[in-house]
Amino acid sequence: MEKKNLFVGSSHTCMENFSNITKWKILLLEHGVKYSDPEMFNSIDNIDQYKTKNSNVELSLDDFQVFDVSKKITRIPAEILIIDGDRTSLTKLRFNANSPIEIIGVAGDKLNLSYNGKLVDDVSISLVKHNNVLAQNIPTSDGRLRQIKDYVGIVGLNRITALFYDGCYNWNIGKNCKFCDLHPRREDEEVAIPSMNTLKKYGMSIEKWWNSQKDVFKNNLKYSLGKVLTENDLEKIYLYFMAGNCKTNTQTWDIAEETIASLRPQIDIGKYPNYLNIAPHDNTERLKRLKDLGIKQVQYNLEVVGANRFAETCPGKMPYQKFENKLFEAVDIFGHGNVRSNFVFGLTPENEMLEYAEYCAEHGVVMDYSVFQPKKNTQFANKPAPSFDSVINFSTNLVKIYKKHNLKPIFDSNGSRSSIINEMYEEINK
């Protein structure tokens, strides 16, 4: 297969101004990948040590429960690492049968890719291993066999994540955000943390559901997070706490505050860069308490710009103007640059996104973004991903807004999987 610079003569604008890592991350986000052999990852003996996912998810939403009911599991890499010299960047993958990027082979943890039939040789691409600490067993108060990975995850190479519960109430009632694929569990898969799929068992009462499970959950989470923070070889750590929506934002914040407070006696979360990704607060006193517990930044995700677009895209979230007011209100507590909102780039026109990013920045709110990717089992499965050039142009201008207002990207290139803002922030006006 021919080897050459794949970007010579490219129609993409400004290619020469950015690193190979940035170029390939955008292309992978834009196109996804296909496979010369769909079964290649099923047949690798040691594939369990790497981060993979099922490309054949079939979603079932019935009777307030959401499951993956697929009959066949076809493994594909969930994340890959792009390497160019001493620089690395991580991206997640999606399967796209029409992608010009094809995985044509695997050698150890290295992937061989082609782009429009030409071998990719200007960067190295590798699978991402699970961190060994996640496989440790934990002592449980209920006597059940659990592992640290049941309670704590590591996204990318350094983003340590903790979910307060599995699922999102808006999904269970059919009012999910239309781009979100939820990552549903299989019906026969046991979930260690509280799951929204069991709400009906408790008469749809969030309070009964939470109170029946919270003690075991909080103890196991505290143990697991403590182990991950003390037994790792990570050069950088970002702590990321997350919660999908409950029926009300007060219920969501009750759970978040109680859980974080339970960690605090043994774990000083304020030692690390940390974020709480959650529905907007119910009152500002809550924000003050969470800040006192060590939370440094909060993130409320608006996803799109404009009240009508928001109501159409995210029918389960609170009204747009109220949501926006909550973002600005949170800045009064956490300070300039410590309140964030993620947007899905590709669902709002670029010029509107940039105007709103400036507006947010003027109010001390950081606009983060994820590149839209059409996902199976969502209402937006047939929408196109934004083009390479639009991602470059938007990111370039967003970096300018960041630097003008003294704002920083979230995480870094090895913890942010679906944005190139960290890469661009490094490369523009060094």
What rounded mean pLDDT belongs to the chain? 92
Q: What is the dihedral of CA 238, 124, 127, 105, to 10 degrees?
A: 160
Which residues on neighbouring strands pair with residue 365, listed in sequence order?
A: 339
pLDDT at position 15 = 56
Q: What is the pLDDT of residues 204-262, one digit of tens each?
A: 999 999 999 999 999 999 999 999 999 988 889 999 999 999 999 999 999 999 999 99
Distance CA 37, CA 39 (A): 5
Asked if 387 contacts 371 with a C-beta cutoff of 8 angstroms, the reply is no
Q: Which residues contact 310 (CB under 8 A, 6 or more apart)?
A: 302, 303, 304, 317, 320, 323
Q: What is the pLDDT of residues 381-395, one digit of tens each?
A: 999 999 999 999 999
Q: Is the pLDDT of residue 3 over 50?
A: no
Least confident segment among 3-7, 43-47, 168-172, 194-198: 3-7
Least confident segment among 48-57, 351-360, 417-426: 48-57
Percent of the chain beyond pLDDT 90? 81
pLDDT at position 430 = 60
Backbone torsions φ then ψ of 32, nearest 5 degrees:
65, -165
pLDDT at position 10 = 44
Q: Is 340 helix (H, G, I), strand (E, B) or coil?
A: strand
Q: Is the pLDDT of residue 5 over 70?
A: no
Q: Is the pLDDT of residue 365 over 90?
A: yes
Distance CA 184, CA 65 (A): 10
Distance CA 108, CA 87 (A): 21
Confidence category of residue 187, pLDDT binned at 50, 70, 90:
confident
- Number of C-alpha atoms within 13 angstroms, CB side, residue 121? 8
- Count of C-beta atoms within a 10 Å radius of residue 321: 10
- Number of C-alpha atoms within 13 angstroms, CB side, residue 348? 25
Q: Is the pLDDT of residue 7 over 50?
A: no
Amino acid occupying residue 165: Y
